[in-house]
Structure 1
Amino acid sequence: MREAWRWFGPNDPVSIADIRQTGATDIVSALHAIQTGEVWPLDKIRAHKVLIEKDNRAQSSLVWSVVESIPVHEDIKLGLENIQGYIDAWITSMENLAKCGIKTICYNFMPVLDWTRTDLKFQLPNGGFALRFDQQKFAAFDLFILQRENAEADYSAEEFAQAKQIFLEMPEDEKALLTKNIIAGLPGKMTDSYEIDDFRRMLEKYKNVTKDILRKNLFSFLSQVLPRAEQLGVKLAIHPDDPPRDMLGLPRIICTSDDLDLLFSALPSPSNGITLCAGTYGSRPDNDLPRMARVFGSRIHFAHLRGVSRDKNEQRSFYEADHLSSDVDMVGIISALLKEEQLRDVATNPQGIFIRPDHGHQILDDINKLANPGYSCIGRLKGLAEIRGVIKALSTPH
């Protein structure tokens, strides 16, 4: 497997020099400054690649190998008219990346929001900090801060009462922080930030968009993208919806094994694949991650390896746990990925599966440093070391 590390560009607090010290060999990155729907110009891709690889002769080598992500314009997800220009721009960006040798592209089809958390600094018993999704806080936001139309229909009477109590006891600064965490944008995310009125308007656009409609729009988009991806030798790796379930009245369509079966039955192209995000899929108790890694092994072009621990009494709530100590069977997943690599044709898949540690804890010296939520250095390095140890143990003959 190829050990990769996500880098958000020159403004990332974790520098390329830092990443070299982790032992990772590949970089996962994107052109975050380019607006959604615009072409990624060839010269800007090359310039970003130079930033990553310019010192490779003098120091340990790093290669920009994976894109995360080329964002899909919201109008494509909505299936509006006159979206051909956005689809063409996405394809042109893919072509320009392929010209630079970058042929693994992670993307998602989440409506309105990218990955969502209620707490960006949830303190753990050991003093470190993790990301957390709290279903009751989220309900309080949905029902009483956002005041989404007909939101109460999505909650039981007990859930409504709990959310109301949480809202009433929440200080104003905590309400503002909760709102910011959910809708105002996370560093490095590939969607625009929202003010709450703009957010309401975006949700309104999806009022009549069902799962079937959103899935149809995804398939329509891919039906144009995949033939060109095949010609270029590009592998597309769709990321699951995070959290993987309907929320805020929005449909979610990449959440379970059944969703992936539908995707691959409709579009069997070898370029049509997935990002196996263990933490995202693992936040649903009905997702069996080792089994998914076995069943969809040939479709896995990229893997995010992290764990989550779900609350015992509210399985929709979770925090991001240690990479090897969570509700996710990380050893089972890695074992399945290693077996999949053994099955692959070395001539057509020489590099193996790209993996990266994901959403590490903020610990030690990083607690007092500026860091993108989930992307501090030491916590991810700890996760990478643990993953590396599992790979070594499983790969060593006994």
Structure 2
Amino acid sequence: MGFYDDSAKNHKRLSAKTWITLVVSASLLGSGTTTALMLPFLTGTKQIKLSQTNTALAEENPAAVQSVALNVNSEIIQAVNKAKPAVVTVVNLQNDGGRFYGNQAHEAGKGSGVVIDRKGHIVTNNHVVEGASQVRVLVNGQTVNAKILGTDALTDLAVLEIPTDKVDGIEPIEIGISESLQIGEPAIAIGNPLGEFEQTVTVGVISAKNRKLPTQDRAGNIVYEQTVLQTDAAINPGNSGGALVNVKGQLIGINSAKIASSGVEGLGFAIPIDEAKPIIEQLITNGKVIRPALGVSVSWEVKNIPANYRKELPVDYGVIVEAASGPAQKAGIESGDVIVQIDNVKINTFLDMRKYLFSKQPGDTVKVTFYRDSEERTVSVPLQELK
């Protein structure tokens, strides 16, 4: 025999009023959301304003309802407040020769820039101002004409200049150190995405250091590899030239590129400030970056030569000279020579050669080892300025 509660026989039928009382009690014991949804039904046509209810509860029990004011002042907020005023909008204006705009300059694109000193110098990307007949900067709520002091396509950097009185009241961004960054360290990107949303802030981390992004010439040939920081802070079109800062609000990189492909997210890149600083200084001082050149053009890398032709060469690495000029020609280097070493650095590719040469200065002398037929030779070559 099962359990049986005989006292249930003596219960009277519950009235409708009692049912409502039970429902209200149950709802109050349940979720606040359920109670809120039921209130209009339970009170008939009268709508209860929650603000009135809260006031009534507060009068009965002052501790029941409290207004909480949050004072959030995290490191990231402090960093943004410190760095954001120095990030400006850069507008690229181009003249189409009168075909559509009556020979008037029209807006070709927008990017971002960073005020780096009180002299009115602004750092941005070369591709932000490339092809511009005029550049304007939106700073301090004003649109100001800017002068292009210099650009460098290899590193994708450019420096602009505006009158010093236009940066009054703006604290130039503090320059940080990118070499000391750690993987996983917070990174804050500030810029002008899509050319419309000024001083937008996105936050992520340093995903990787010392990544390499190839720089191509107009023919599609890789002529340089730029070292970059990788971050998952959102970088969109228009962010180019903007600031990547650390939690101290210090500039650690110039936002430059992202990988935009279906299914790819969080792959943004910035030029490390340690790499950018010497370029910026030369652009301000010289209006260009002065780099050394050996005086040779390269036709092939040995590793890319078809195997049936490669076996005729004395070595299986190096670069083949297409033509020599200037000091290299005077030193005896000729077309067809295979350069395998400069000083003590082994040369496998054109980029190996360029990277090492760019660590030198025009006027420095290097020792070039090469093969002519099966004979190994070494000559000294004074470096000239790259044109």
Please give the TM-score of this superposition, normalised by the length of structure 1: 0.19
Higher RCO, 1 vs 2 (CA within 8 Å, ≥6 residues apart): 1
Larger Rg: 2
Please give the TM-score of this superposition, normalised by the length of structure 2: 0.20
More helix by share: 1
